[in-house]
Each structure stands twice: as structure tokens, then as C-alpha cells.
Amino acid sequence: MNTLAALPVAPTSPHVINTYGRVPIALSHGQGCRVWDVNGKEYLDALAGIAVNTLGHNHPRFVPALQEQIAKLIHTSNYYHVPGQELLAARLAELSSMNKAFFCNSGLEANEAVLKLARKYGHDKGISNPQIVVYERAFHGRSIATLSATGNTKLQKGFEPMVPGFIRVPLNDIEALKRATEGNPDVVAVFFETIQGEGGINAMRNEYLRAVRALCTERDWLLCIDEVQSGMGRTGKWFAHQWAGIVPDVMALAKGLASGIPIGAIVTGPKASEVLQPGNHGSTFGGNPLAMRAGIETLRIMEEDGLMENATKMGDYLMGRLRAELGTHPGVKEVRGQGLMIGMELNKPCGVLIARAAEAGLLISVTADSVIRLLPPLIITQAEIDELLARLLPLVRVFLAEQA
């Protein structure tokens, strides 16, 4: 008997540039809300590839549609019309009450396009030094421009100097926004996440969103919203800002839009739809037939299966159970979020819980050092949430007891 053949495989990636502190597991396949590693161990997926796998894994209607599309056409370039782009753009316009879309490959690219569009909007108005209002604790990506818009000096360190042209303000303080922009004729846009994901699941209040919308309209600024993580039904509406009853001028999308196929998009309203003209911006892979089919099928299945309603119902249940079990624990500062975008902030850094949860068969993340972040697929069931809690709660209780 060859005993070596039975030893578990220890994953390693010596030829991959080490930009991640990876959990020491390698995943091989998935089904629904579960994934398995190369050694056959099963995990409940409460992260969904960071809010990407909207439909979970190996969805029985999504996968055959992509297989059909791959056999027909994967990529053509944007030198030609792509019928799927028009179908998906029209659908996104309808769902957002906006009117046009541009497609790229990621949230970073979408946010980069937002920044370029906002600057061009300013230049078209004769503003040679356009400035964009951004927020403390924001995360918009890791390119130089989106990193400059990001409100995290730890991520920026080593990559200075940052791109100029940003004015940073705190969340949910309309007077601070007014003071920071008072008498400044170069302001062209306000740019924020409705719910900050990487920043720690920090939500903009609805009354604040409405006040910023009114201020942008009054001062002819673009209201630009990053819905990369909070959009696509995750909070129980198509886009999280819709809870406030507002419509932005520009919106960035990615992550859950195509359930795992790389995609990014900006959606624009009338004030912004004609700013970018031929030659101003582009993408080689963006909007390819495969990604467009993935986006179209994701939206179709979400509607057919009532996944936004499920996000609301399961999110309320998960949040309620977390608050009931740990909400009054002295080591828990707050349980917050909306729908299936939930954070539980502890009173000390808790990154160690990622590996402990994986050991217990649960995939989670920790963001902003001390916030346990839960972003399960929108197909998750109540029984799976009960299982999630059965694996997570003992770990958190033990971890908090270690502090005492």
C-alpha cells in the first residue's frame, strides 16, 4: 500500500507573486453554497468569492447557458457591435432608471471609468483642475487612481505619490461635505459606496443619501455611486442606494453582476451618458459575448428565483440570530449591514478567525482588521444559515474569551 498517496495535499504557489495572505487551502469544485478542496474537505461558502458568486456554484441553469455561449462565441473585441451588450445595457438601464452602460472587466476598471468620466465632465464645463469628493474608509480599487480615491493610507503606503484631485470627507455628515467644498468652483462629483465593504460594512444613511443627491443637483455635480459590492440584489434591492429612493448620475457595478465571470460596468443617467465619446475610453475584453451572456442569465435567474426577496429574508434572519446570540456580548461592538451584506465588528483585530473558520469548514472574511464579513450566495437557505451559525458562533465565543 502506498501510504504517501493518502497524505493530504498542502497547497503552495511558489511561482505566483505573493500579494495575498492566502488561507492554506485550494478549492477544486463547488455545488450551491458549498465548495470542496483538493483533499475532499467540504466548506460552507459564506463569502461567495467576495460577493461575486450570486448564484452559488455550478448553478443548474447558469452553467449550461455559459457552456452554450462558449461553443458559439467568447470574444470579438469592441471593434464590432456585441448584441449581448445592448441587451444587458438595456436591462441595467431599466432596473436603475438610468439610460446607458459601458462594460469592462472588474470593479476597479468600472471605478476608474467613473473617475475619468467625472474629470471629463469637468473639463467639458471648462474646469481645468476637476476635483472629486470621496470618503474616509472608502475602497475603490488598487490602480493608482482608484487607490488615490480609497480612504486607507495603509493600502496607499509604498505607492505614493497619489493622484491629486480628491477631497475627502467623513460619512453621513452633510455639513462636513458642504464645508469641505464651500466656494470651490472645481468640484465636479461626489463618489461613494452606498455600503462600504472593505471599509468595514459602513452604510450611508438614507437621509444622507437624499441630501447628497439634492446637493449634487443644486451644484451641477455628478452623483457617482460605487455599487460594486453592495449592488446586484445583495441588500434586497437591485442597487443599495434604491433603499433611499435616489437615482445617481453614474453607477459602478461588477462582482455579482455575472456570478463569477469577470465583468464590470458603469451605468449612466442623462447628465453623464454623452460625456465619453469615441476614443475617450475603451476595453479589449470588456463586454465580450461570454461576460454579457453571464450577466443576462444572472439577472434572469435572480428574477425567476426571487433572489432579492431571499436576500432580504435570509439577511434579516442571519442578522437577527447574530444579534440575539452575540449582540450584547461585551466583545462585540456592533452587528450591522443590510440583506446578505453583514458585518460583525469585534473589539479587537480578528483576522485569525479566517483560518479557524476554514478549519471548521466555513469560508468567511475579516475586513477593517476587526469586522467579520459575511457575503454568502443569494441562494442560501435558512438551514444553511443555521449551519453557518453553528460553525461560526463557537469560534467567535472562544476567540472573545481569549481576550478576557
pLDDT at 6: 66
pLDDT at 260: 97
* Superfamily for domain range 27-58+306-401: Aspartate Aminotransferase, domain 1 (3.90.1150.10)
pLDDT at 97: 98
Residue 217: how many CA atoms within 13 Å on its side-chain side?
11
Distance of alpha carbon 51 from alpha carbon 38, whole angstroms: 23
CATH of 73-305, one of 2.40.50.140, 3.40.50.360, 3.40.47.10, 3.40.640.10: 3.40.640.10
Enumerate residues 6+ apart whose C-beta is below 8 A from 24: 10, 11, 355
Strand partners, 226: 193, 252
- Was 229 annotated as part of a binding site? yes
Distance from the first to the final alpha carbon of the chain: 49
Domain range summary for the chain, segments of one domain joined by +: 27-58+306-401, 73-305
Enumerate residues 6+ apart whose C-beta is below 8 A from 102: 113, 265, 266, 268, 276, 281, 286, 287
Catalytic residue among 120, 166, 255, 285: 255
Report the 10 Å Cβ neighbour count for 397: 14
pLDDT at 4: 52
Catalytic residue among 37, 45, 226, 249: 226
- Was 102 annotated as part of a binding site? no
Angle at 135 between CA 129 and CA 138, to 5 degrees: 115
255 carries an active-site annotation: yes
> What is the b/e burial string over 188-221, where b = at least 16 CB atoms within 10 angstroms of the residue's CB?
bbbbbbbbbbbbbbbbbeeebbebbbebbeeeeb
139 carries an active-site annotation: yes
Distance of alpha carbon 276 from alpha carbon 362, whole angstroms: 44
**Measured in whole angstroms, how far is the alpha carbon of residue 136 from the centre of its chain?**
17
pLDDT at 9: 83
Series of mean pLDDT values for 10-residue runs along the chain (404 residues) = 64 92 95 97 98 98 98 97 98 98 98 98 98 98 97 96 98 98 98 98 98 98 98 98 98 98 98 97 97 98 98 98 96 98 97 98 97 98 98 98 76
Nine cell digits for residue 294:
453571464
- Was 186 annotated as part of a binding site? no
- Was 139 annotated as part of a binding site? yes
pLDDT at 320: 98
**38: phi then psi, degrees, rounded to nearest 5:** -65, -15
Catalytic residue among 139, 191, 192, 285: 139
- Was 142 annotated as part of a binding site? yes
Q: Are 283 and 294 in contact (CB under 8 A)?
A: no
**Measured in whole angstroms, how far is the alpha carbon of residue 344 from the centre of its chain?**
17
pLDDT at 5: 57
305 carries an active-site annotation: no
Give pTM, 2 decimals.
Answer: 0.96
Enumerate residues 6+ apart whose C-beta is below 8 A from 107: 140, 141, 226, 228, 229, 252, 253, 254, 255, 264
pLDDT at 1: 44
List Cα–Cα distances, 257 to 127, 240, 368, in angstroms: 34, 14, 25
Q: Are 191 and 132 in contact (CB under 8 A)?
A: yes
Q: What is the pLDDT of residues 229-260, one digit of tens each?
A: 999 999 999 999 999 999 999 999 999 999 99
- Was 226 annotated as part of a binding site? yes
